[in-house]
Amino acid sequence: MLELRNISTYYGNIQALKGIDLTIDRGEIITLIGANGAGKSTTLMSISGVVPPRDGDILFEGESLLGMDPDRIVGKGISQVPEGRRIFPHLTVRENIDMGALLRRDREGIKRDLEYVYSLFPILAERRGQAGGTLSGGEQQMLAISRAIMARPKLLLLDEPSLGLAPLIVQQIFEIISQINSENGTTIFLVEQNANQALKVAHRGYVMENGRITLADAASRLLENPEVKAAYLGV
């Protein structure tokens, strides 16, 4: 579904990605793990067109995304939930959710998807009239995921959804990620520092260090890999 070929991305003169190769098949949950500053967020932003790569190519369903505006990339079926959630604090929960469907015209489908996100996150249905900024961190993460689902993506990009959340909420978010994948067949690319949880829900994983991919394997094998255990799993 998605193929990154030798991608290099820069911030001015700083090279954040140094020739990344990565593939995602339809229906998979793929995770990208690595330390702070390894280049995980930059990989997502290269795909979504927010920070376009300087070299290499990105193919989505066989078509190059290079040179496309982020809006157009969303229109192709790729939605990103950015790190830090970035919901609209002064809009209500319902208005925030509706923002995700701005590019859609199928009213019946939008209605169905709204019911679907309320069934995934009943707390958001309860709080639909409340300003987004008054929600807890975990609820804001749920809201950001809901907004992305409302675009009906084929590929959902999640940037550190567990960041700063209490363990119980983290557990709930990872369960929902699995559920979105298994119920809708939505392909998911999950960037995480919580390597343990991420590898548990993913099918395959990539490990990134200093702008390069250093390991790629089945998630179950990465969980057992001594290097991964020592560096990222704290065992």
Q: Which residues bind ligand ATP (CB under 6 A)?
A: 11, 14, 16, 34, 36-42, 83, 193
20/87 with CB nearer ligand ATP: 20
Distances (CA, A) of 66 to 52, 56, 73, 84, 226: 7, 9, 10, 26, 37
Are the CB atoms for 190 and 32 separated by under 8 Å? yes
Least distance from C-beta 195 to ligand ATP, angstroms? 12
124/207 with CB nearer ligand ATP: 207
Least distance from C-beta 40 to ligand ATP, angstroms? 3
Least distance from C-beta 155 to ligand ATP, angstroms? 18
CB-based contacts of 227: which residues, under 8 Å, 6+ apart? 215
What's the rounded Cα separation, in Å, for the pair 15 and 45?
14
CB-based contacts of 34: which residues, under 8 Å, 6+ apart? 40, 193, 207, 208, 209, 232
Least distance from C-beta 134 to ligand ATP, angstroms? 26
**Beta-ladder partners of 33:** 192, 207
Least distance from C-beta 29 to ligand ATP, angstroms? 18
14/168 with CB nearer ligand ATP: 14
1/20 with CB nearer ligand ATP: 20
Half-sphere exposure of residue 78, counting CA atoms within 13 Å on the CB side? 27
21/98 with CB nearer ligand ATP: 21
User: Strand 29-34 relative to strand 204-209: parallel, antiparallel, unpaired?
Assistant: parallel
Least distance from C-beta 189 to ligand ATP, angstroms? 13
2/124 with CB nearer ligand ATP: 2
DSSP 3-state percent helix, strand, coil across the chain (nearest 5): 40, 30, 30
